[in-house]
Amino acid sequence: MVIKVLMLVVFFGVMIYIGLYCRQHSTDVNGFVLGGRSVGPWLTAFAYGTSYFSAVIFVGYAGQFGWKYGIATTWVGIGNALLGSLAAWVVLGRRTRIMTQHLNSATMPEFFGKRFDSKALQIAASAVTFIFLIPYTASLYNGLSRLFGMAFNIDYSVCVIAMAILTGIYVTAGGYMATAINDFIQGLIMLFGIVAVIAAVLASQGGFLAALDGLAKVSDPAVSETPGIFASFFGPDPLNLLGVVILTSLGTWGLPQMVQKFYAIRNEKAVYTGTIISTFFAVIVAGGCYFLGGFGRLFSDKIDIAANGFDSVIPTMLSGLPDILIAVVVVLVLSASMSTLSSLVLASSSTLVLDLLKDNVVKDMTEKKQVAVMRGLIVVFIGISVVIAIIQYKSSVTFIAQLMGVSWGALAGAFLAPFMYGLYWKKTSKAACWVSFIFSTVFMLANMLARPSFPALLQSPINAGAFCMIFGLIIVPIISAFTEAPDRELVDSTFACYDVEVLVPQSEALGHRQDWK
């Protein structure tokens, strides 16, 4: 217990110190929200990765889908690395950084407003962002509480409030730069922790091959009659597994708190380096989490899914580890959750101030006042999410994965297609954006409130969210082709940012010389 408490005290002390140290970088809106658009590749890549993977992944998704699909769940981690990290950086990274700076937009809703010359679109995007980030935030607390209860036997409410206060301190003090530096430290903890935990859990089962052999002997007639199905390549339900891969991988392309990381990156070289680092981070952390969860059924004699739900799988797997490793796990999941929470509250507060309050509710809002209001809203947003998390836990409304599925499905379904097409295609229309916004939010709300009336495959919020993303990618170009084209002068002015000629060292770009042979 002394080791656990000491590690937490040091961890919290470092986080708060960094927040206070970074106050000098957060005196204006650009510094507070984007770190002055001068954040290097390592900080940006780790900020992206730690915002991506939280207690929702480690406790909720890894436990639930590891139990359902066995070792095949590792495909989710592979998808997160290749599609959610590598492809996202390659497709969105450079263009997002260039166009958002050209438009002087600090948030995703502000991008929509300026790219499509529509204040209404900006306000609608801001409202969607704020509303659907709340259930995701609540799910972070839930996952953390499971592990704190196991390690310290502390009441859930105490865990939630403590985590919220400490995160609030360093985010309100240091803004994006404090979040990025803390994310880097927290990411290192996550990398080390997940490797150590996997090694310890597999060792407790006799090693990797012995654990895989044991998993091959597990049978569940309610799931499949096929022998060894949980140790197979695609598991017992490949179609629903694909839905998880799409939601958790493609979803990052349309989440405001994820895409906003590209706004702040320093330069071309930082984009290239950040792509490699971010992909490596995802392979280890996401791949490791889902790989670990795939062995959950080896502990079925200790797990009562009917009584405690899927969220109890990972904590039960870890409960037999040595105290020092349990302490590492607690700090690991705390790191993952606080980094994601800080990213969410920063994205939510900035969009409320810059996209809703500024010039709409409050006229002539100075930079100093904008930053002050953002800091206040961070506290308010954290408080709301704490109340919802506690109410959700006491009433046992739903599982972690379902909360995240609703949130990711609505946000990414609404924003992914309009944002991506908006970066690449001049003919993307305002009407197509509205259709994408309205369809995904209404569809996910209906799925949450009237789930039994949906087709069997789409009753899962995971599959429903994946469907919204794919539907958006199809419907946006179709609607754009049949609706009023955007103003040509506006579009040409926006896309002119890609045509600006820049001089770079030859080490970064090969020249074209006549005397080369």
Which superfamily does 2-395 belong to?
Sodium/glucose cotransporter (1.20.1730.10)
Instruction: Report, as an integer, the average pLDDT of 223-252.
Output: 88
Q: How far apart are CA 17 and CA 352, in angstroms?
A: 27
**Sign of CA pseudo-dihedral 21, 25, 31, 35:** negative
Instruction: Report, as an integer, the average pLDDT of 494-504.
Output: 81
Q: How far apart are CA 217 and CA 307, in angstroms?
A: 24
Between the ranges 187-191, 349-353, 415-419, where is the mean pLDDT highest?
A: 415-419
**Domain map of the chain by residue range?**
2-395
Instruction: Report, as an integer, the average pLDDT of 63-70.
Output: 88
Does residue 327 surpass a pLDDT of 80? Answer: no
Does residue 150 surpass a pLDDT of 80? Answer: no
How remote is the C-alpha of 391 from its chain's centroid? Answer: 23
Mean pLDDT score across all residues of the chain:
83
Number of Cβ within 10 Å of residue 223's Cβ equals 18
The two structure tokens encoding residue 12: 């919290």
Does residue 73 surpass a pLDDT of 60? Answer: yes
Instruction: Report, as an integer, the average pLDDT of 141-155.
Output: 66
Specify the pLDDT at position 436.
Answer: 95
Q: How far apart are CA 385 and CA 304, in angstroms?
A: 28
Read off the pLDDT of residues 334-345 as tens digits, 9 standing for 90 and up.
777 777 778 788
Q: Residue 90's pLDDT band (boundaries 50, 70, 90)?
A: very high
Specify the pLDDT at position 77.
Answer: 92
Residue 224 pairs with which residues in a beta bridge? 220
Specify the pLDDT at position 478.
Answer: 95
* Nearest alpha carbon to residue 192 among 285, 99, 315, 264: 285
Using an 8 Å Cβ cutoff, are 10 and 166 in contact? Answer: no
Kindly report the pTM of this predicted structure: 0.85
Q: Residue 152's pLDDT band (boundaries 50, 70, 90)?
A: low
Residue 39 pairs with which residues in a beta bridge? 265
CB neighbours of 142 closer than 8 A, spacing ≥ 6?
55, 60, 311, 389, 392, 393, 400, 403
Q: Residue 141's pLDDT band (boundaries 50, 70, 90)?
A: confident
Read off the pLDDT of residues 257-302 as tens digits, 9 standing for 90 and up.
888 888 888 777 888 888 999 999 999 999 998 999 899 888 888 8
Read off the pLDDT of residues 424-480 as tens digits, 9 standing for 90 and up.
999 999 999 999 999 999 999 898 888 889 888 888 888 898 999 999 999 999 999
Using an 8 Å Cβ cutoff, are 186 and 338 in contact? Answer: yes
